[in-house]
Each structure stands twice: as C-alpha cells, then as structure tokens.
A and B are shown apart, each in its own frame.
Chain A
C-alpha cells in the first residue's frame, strides 16, 4: 500500500492548516484541501466569484450611491434656498421631463423630447451608416490589396489626424448650417479611424485562409465576398460600437453650435436659463440611448454572427 508515506505527510502538517472539519483519518481520500464550500471564505479575493443575485446588487450599488448622494446634495441646497437651480430635486426633474415628453411645446406644437431625440438619432445614424460604408469600402481594399493599401494608407492616416472640430467652420461654409454639415462632421470624425480599424482587421485574417481560398480557386473578388466580408462584419459592429462615443461628441458639438433642434441643441439652449432640471435628465437620456445602442449592436452581432462568439472548443 502506498498510503503510508502520504498519511505521514499529513501527520506532519501544522495544526492550523487543514480547513476541513473532518477528523484526521489515515485514508488519503480524506485529505482536506478540496472542500470548496467550506473553503470559499478563505480563498483569495481573485478566486471568489459573486453569484447571480449578488452580481446584480453589486452592479446597482454605484448607481444607487450616486442617486442618494445627489438627492442629499440637492436637498441640502434646496432647503437653504428653494430657488436654487444648480441641483434640482428628482421631482423637479421629473416634472420638467414630463413637460418635455408629454406636453406639446407652445411655439412649435412638438413634443420636444421626442422631436429632439428623433432629430439627433437621425443625424447620428446617417453619419455612422455613411462612416461604416466608407470603412468597409476603403478598409477592405486597404487591408487586402497591396496596391490599394499603398494608395490609401498614407492618405487615410493623414486625414485621421485632422482634429474634426477644426473642419466644422469649413463644413458650415460649404454645406450651410443644415443637416448636411452635422452629418458630414460625424463622418469626418469617425470614418478615418474606422477605415484604419477595418483595414487592420482585414490584415489580421490569417494568411493561411487566404492561401487556402486561392488553392480552392477563388479570385480576389470571391475572396473578398466569401472570406473577408463575412469575417469582418462582426468586427465592423465592434468598430461601430467603439465609434459611437466620438460620434455622439461630434453630434452634440455640431448641434450646440448651429441647429434648431436635437438633444445637444436643447441642452445648450436651456443652459442660458441655468435649467439644470432639463439638462441633467437630457444627459441621462443620451447616456441611456447610447447604452441601449451599444447593447443592441452587441446582441445583434451575437445572434447574426454566432461563429464569432463561440469561445474555445465547446461542443
């Protein structure tokens, strides 16, 4: 029997080590080390994972803390001065939002929250859609065809370094103050980086696959259609998700400077009246939309391009 030496080692252990409540036995099977439930309290922090419910609680923690902190601050300021505008109460903000969402504007008859949202999203989607088309249209050749890369790479790299906001006056002069210049600003702000990202993603397709396609008789065009496009589509969605943040910045900036509607326009308009009860909910609303867009894109990618989200060799 080989039990002897093992149990001897066990007998030499310092008394404080074993975590198991079981009495010492001479059987090696009773060696303590692997009792996860009993041991979890003593495990390293990096190995302790929250359960489902705890995860939700922990995730909500900072949001709740922020709301509480804000409410306290708002309460303190308002009790000192009921006309304080800096930290409106949650009730004041709800009232303002109710008016923006469900009471038609006296002058235009629009429900402002919705008309602002529609205007801004229209610009955002147009800009991002155009950028995405440019990103694929230029990024794929730039990443796949050496001659196209030699032509495009230096130019795109240079263009992407222009600070987009500096172009805004030029856009206003060329396209006027209408929708075009705002959409073009989003495109100029996001497209060059997206082109570079997509070109990079194309070059990261393993060379083996391209060679394999060649030995299967594919032309360059067929490779683009059947090997490159499908594989970079999930990357394009990632790219769009990453570009949404700068796109919002350019959208709000353009709206702030010259516009007659839109979320950014509204925020900068009511700023004149220190209307924090409108600005703060608007910011929260923009954040919520941005978050929802990001999640929707992620879920779409997961559903449409399941192969790209399979991790490891799960059977």
Chain B
C-alpha cells in the first residue's frame, strides 16, 4: 500500500476543468517535485493533498484512509508568502504550536510550559540559523529568513507530509541554493514525505526523488480552457541527485519541442 495515493482525480472550477484523470501513488519518504505551466493545476493538486479543496471525482488517500477535508497537523504547509504570522516575533511564531496544543482556551503558555516551549523554539532557531533574529518580527526579516522560519514552524508539529507551494519562488538565486541545502538536510533527517511545487525546473531535478509534470494532453485551440491537466511525466530520480538521465533528456527535449505556446515549464 502506498503512503499517499490519488485515485482518478477530477477537479473543475465552474465550467473550467482544472485536473482530469490524475492518479499517482507515492511511497513514504519520497521528495516529489511538481512542475507544470501556470494554471495547470499544480497548486490545486497541492490543495487537494492539504484538504483545503475536494475533488469532484476520485479520492485522495493517506495511509489507506481518505484524507480529512480540512487542514490538519499531520500535513504541514509552506507557502510562497504569508506563511508566518506578521504580528508574532520569530520566537513567538515557533512557540505558537505548543500554545495551541497545551492551552485550548487561552492559546497562551505561562510559567514552566512557556519556558519549555521557548527552549524548544530556541533549539529550532539555532538549527535554522536564526538565533540572532529571535525577537524580530517577520517584516524585519529578509525573504530567505522568513521562509526558513516558515519551514521551521511547519516542522514543529512533526507532520507526516510537508507540502510546499513555490517556497523559494521569491528568493534570490544565492539564498535559494542555501534554502535547498537546508531543505534536503531536513528531509534526510526527518524522513518526511515532501511535495513541492516549483517553477524552477533545475530545482525540481536537484531536490526531487520523483519529478511530476502536470500538463494538458488535450487541446482545443478555440477554447483553451476546455480540458484540464493531468500528470504527463512521472520521473523517478535517484536520491534527488543522480537523475535518470535518459528520461530527463527526453523530457527536456519534449519541452523544447512544445514551444508553441502550449507548454511553458
């Protein structure tokens, strides 16, 4: 039995089909990178995994059970923006999950519980290299620091799956490399299953153990929104580094051939 399984998913927004016939099975501990043209349902797929949306047809299973229809702590999320809370300092952002867990009515920690949560948060801050920014608000942090904080925050609940929607899309290339290294280390350490949507094809190859491409297979030139997208490529990369070079080359060739306006990966 696969860890995460999507079975014949169909999603449409009003008249516009977004996803059709999407089926995939992912093993525990995979690092799936998801690429595809804008508006072809990558983020929709991520929202299905998150439980923020439901498919009109088909189902999404985790460990054999249909995933809950709302976000829960077993699936963490990192967005491109707005992932951390702007009104809380770095430290407060990281003690928040503990407060949610231990203080159902006040949502705040006091005394010993608070000290313990702060110690754990301090350890996490040190791990992601943000100890010096402990008491700063997110607006006072750079984009890279904010995303490190967001990832750290998502990890605190030890989710089984980490979902990332273009987490490094707004970062400078140099910072982006650092973040990729950090993420790979975290992934190796925790053995989490990661789904990451990205626009950066080289990032997708570098990080992923599996590269999933969403694209439309059917096209109606008179009605571009007539058909939804599905998974057109599902490449197994080894260990995220030594990629299956033949299939990758084939894939890249395909992308260059299709420069007729239909595919922009």
Contact = CB atoms under 8 A, between A and B. Distances in A.
A214 B77 CA distance: 10
Interface string A186-209: 000000000000000000001011
Interface in B9-37: none
Interface in A166-223: 206, 208-209, 211-219, 221-222
Contact of B82 (A208, A215, A226): A208
A315 interface: yes
B29 to A, nearest CB: 20
Interface string B68-82: 001111011101011
Contacts of B50: 211, 215
Contacts of A226: 96, 99-100, 107-108
B79 A212 contact: yes
* Size class of the contact patch on chain A: 20 to 34
B83 A208 contact: yes
Tell me what chain B mostly uses at the interface: helix, strand, loop, or mixed.
loop
B115 interface: no
Given A208-B81, A208-B83, A215 B76 contact: yes
A225 B87 CA distance: 12
Tell me what chain A mostly uses at the interface: helix, strand, loop, or mixed.
helix
A215 B71 contact: yes
A76 to B, nearest CB: 56
B193 to A, nearest CB: 15
Contacts, number: 97
Contacts of A307: 86-88, 137, 139
Given A216-B156, A217-B101, A307-B137, A230 B72 contact: no
Contacts of A280: none
Contact of B141 (A219, A221, A313): A313
A231 B140 CA distance: 17
A216 B97 CA distance: 5
B82 A209 contact: yes
Interface in B152-172: 153-154, 156-157, 159
Most chain A CB within 10 A, of B70, B77, B81, B85, is at B85
Most chain B CB within 10 A, of A212, A213, A216, A219, is at A216
Given A307-B137, A310-B137, A313-B141, A219 B79 contact: no
* Size class of the contact patch on chain B: 35 or more
Given A306-B137, A313-B142, A217 B82 contact: no
A256 interface: no
A313 B159 contact: no
A215 B76 CA distance: 6
A225 B137 contact: no
B100 A217 contact: yes
B80 to A, nearest CB: 9
B142 A211 contact: no
B52 interface: yes
Contact of A214 (B72, B84, B141): B72
Nearest to A225: B107
Nearest to A210: B71
A308 to B, nearest CB: 7
A314 B139 CA distance: 8
Given A209-B82, A308-B87, A217 B73 contact: yes
Contacts of A222: 99-100, 104, 107
Nearest to A311: B139
B110 interface: no
A101 interface: no
Contacts of A213: 85, 96, 100
Contact of B139 (A206, A208, A313): A313
Contacts of A221: 104-105, 107
Given A214-B70, A215-B76, A314 B82 contact: no
5 contacts: A212-B77, A216-B96, A221-B105, A306-B137, A310-B140
Given A206-B82, A214-B72, A313-B140, 9 more contacts: A208-B82, A211-B71, A212-B77, A216-B96, A217-B100, A217-B157, A307-B137, A307-B139, A313-B143
